[in-house]
Amino acid sequence: MGLGLDLGLDLGLGVGLGLGPGLCLDLCLGVGMGLGLGLGLGLGLGLGLGLGLGLGLALVLHKVPDEQINTAWPRNKILPSGILF
């Protein structure tokens, strides 16, 4: 049950509550809570972990420069859920 545009990561990881077009943050962090106004297109699969971990990490890492986020997780790696990015 998701409310937003966090379609890919919520379906892949089974955690997250999307509240808008937060696709970039969700794909970078590997946990889902999109920040925004909500477009009503979400098909996410989890609420508890998404609200706690997703919002916390999204708010913390939103303030981190993009260079540090990009080097923190190497590209072309497979997440534990099997998502390749």
DSSP class of 63: T
pLDDT value at residue 34: 46
What is residue 26's predicted lDDT score, i.e. its pLDDT? 47
pLDDT at 3: 43
List 84's β-bridge partners, or say none. 78
Residue type, 24: C
Q: Which two tokens stand for residue 1?
A: 């049950």
The whole-model pTM stands at 0.16
Residue 19 above 50 pLDDT? Answer: no
Q: Is 64 exposed, middle or buried (0-12, 13-18, 19+ CB in 10 A)?
A: exposed
